[in-house]
Structure 1
Amino acid sequence: MISTLFKNRWLQQWREFSRYLKYVFNDHAIIAFFFLFGALLFAYQQLLQTIPSVWWTQGGLLLILFLTLLLFKTPASFVKSADAVFFLGDEAPLQRLWQQATIYSMLINGTIQGLLIIIFWPLLMKLFDFNFFILLLITLFMIIAKMMLTYVQARQTAAFNTDQLTLINWTAVSELENQRLATIYAFFNLFIDVPGLQSTIKPHPYLERLRSLWPNYRKDTLLPIYLTTFIRKSEYLNLWVRMLIFGLLLIPFTNGYLLYGLLALLQYLFIAQILPLAGSYRRLVFDTVIPITLSNRQKAFHSFLLPLSLMMLIIWFILIVITHNFDINQGIGMLSLVIFTFLLVFLYSDRIIANMFKRRIKHASTK
């Protein structure tokens, strides 16, 4: 029997998610997802027709299948930070909540893993000439492996001693649940401001040393603040890494105008999602005391954003040269992508920042 506590926590969480999902899957997003899905299906069809069955394509596919085990493996617990104190006299309901949430997470993560493997069935049949029975065995094995990984992570998090689970570390369980929810809300925050969302601040010493090497680091007023925030705030750093990896995954499997169109879309999504950083410090005291003009802010943001965008393009172009035959069409595509990036950095970002601070002045005048 499902406990009342698990049912209430599950319903409460999904009611909250549904509030944000309607902003994610709005009319414009559905149209964009429709065209993107069609483009990916076309690219997948082209890949199946052209990919050679050699050792490096087979090894790459096996590596991708292994990496899918690292996705969606965090277990849900529905445990809140105050539960350890509230259920101090009787932990039985909280233990049942954790057990049922672990089983729920294993089933959900296993189902997602199965769907991911089914997507790769045509490639497995193309590269390895597997029959349906072998594909079914591989899928079942990957599902069981994902469920076991989810269980192991839930048990290791909850146990003070990894050898036995006599006492449950409710603090660690609630912290993992908070991290899981923060990841989900960070995705929603790309489409709408989620109240109370707190980003992880983490120093990266190896990246901190690169700040002084950044172009115009000591000339532009706000550039050190922008760069330090990008390095230490996981929300922005992970965004750059995520877009870079998405592009690297697209390059071996797509070509032509479709490839450069998708890379341009990733570049736009990166710049559009990092633009709120330009106004992150507008409410601080120095923003009104020190004479920082709109042009100073835009110039500093150019110096911050352009190297990041160009580094992403350089890494993408290196992989394009390695995996594709370089010809005049590839050169035109690369040049077009560079011009598009410059337009985003110098024109699109200027317009958004100007509108951002125009609204600020308008709201301030009405108070």
Structure 2
Amino acid sequence: MAVAERFGAPWPPSRFFFFFVAVLLVLLLTDGGVSWIRRAEALSIGINYGQIGDNLPSPSRVSYLLQSMQVSKVKLYDADPYVLSAFLDTDVEFVVGIGNENVSAMAADPSAARAWVQRHVQPYLLATGDGGTRRRRITCITVGNEVLKGNDTSLKAALLPAMESVYAALSALGLQGRVNVTTAHSLDIMGTTYPPSAGAFAPDVVPYVQPLLSFLSMARSPFLINCYPYFAYKADPGNVPLEYVLFQPNAGVTDANTRLNYDNMLYAQVDSVYAAIQALGHAADDIDVKISETGWPSRGDPDEAGATPEYAGTYIGNLLRRIEMKQGTPLRPAVPIDVYVFALFNENLKPGPASERNYGLFYPDGTPVYNVGLRGYLPPMDFSQGTRRKSSEN
């Protein structure tokens, strides 16, 4: 029986059309268990898509979710073709990763880097496919994650040669102008972050980071830093003002050397990295600093101060507003900050304190952990089976 006939006499096509539109509007404007609310514009923010869990939705479902949120930038910790294929015919740009476990091999054997690029990057760089179909794009490769914060000196020494091998592979394939090559760092590589103008890398890191900066300058690639103001608050909640770390109204802190005022810790951390880069001989506009991870946990162990949904929602919500304003840091106000939020989902198999498993914007069923307007539609499809571990995700 036709849908229109269930309501009595058959409806004329025009009446049925208006009925359909009315129902669709109800779905769009109400929240009846599954949210259909979409943002009008593509988000300027990126999202880290980690997969250390055994209850996470399949990549095809995640693709629907991110598209419904109008997310256009995603960062992975590997280059899983299963994930990339799920975003076929979308406008999503990807940062893909080479795990720490593969860094030494690529440093020792450039052909391994070339084989990796040919397998994991080259197939996904076509601007159009058959019949003009859009392809997913890879814009950046991160070689390792937070390598320089560790104690493995051989791995640290292999980092730059591995990056050079990947860059050489891209160049040999004519792709070097289309894909950046870099690595993501923990803020722990900083010896000094306050005041921001006195920012400096830790002395034991300088021998590794100085030639790495020269490479980034040559390759026109960004310096990626993982910044978590939450860690500073957690370590000293009695002396770190909550308003300062949550982007809430406050008098801020003025750098006595530059007279620049900072009303939030994240921007101060980023500018301290710029200062550290300048201290090693690079101009402020030579290498862009991008935030490859930042977030706030919604839950933690009893000794993890501030890990609540309220604070997490405040941090992410206020950060989103800053990004939508295309705001820069006090040192570089004309350059909008580029941020990848950590993370898309709570990941139930991440090791460490409870907070590590509770950085997600969403629960695995697609329900928002807190409300900051980032709602989307997760279709009712099968969950992926088994555990999906990414060893270099921290």
TM-score range, shorter chain: under 0.3
Tell which structure's C-alpha radius of gyration is larger: 1
Which protein has greater RCO, CA pairs closer than 8 Å, 6+ apart?
Answer: 2
Q: Which has the higher helix share?
A: 1
* TM-score, normalization by structure 2: 0.24
Q: Which has the higher strand share?
A: 2
* TM-score, normalization by structure 1: 0.25
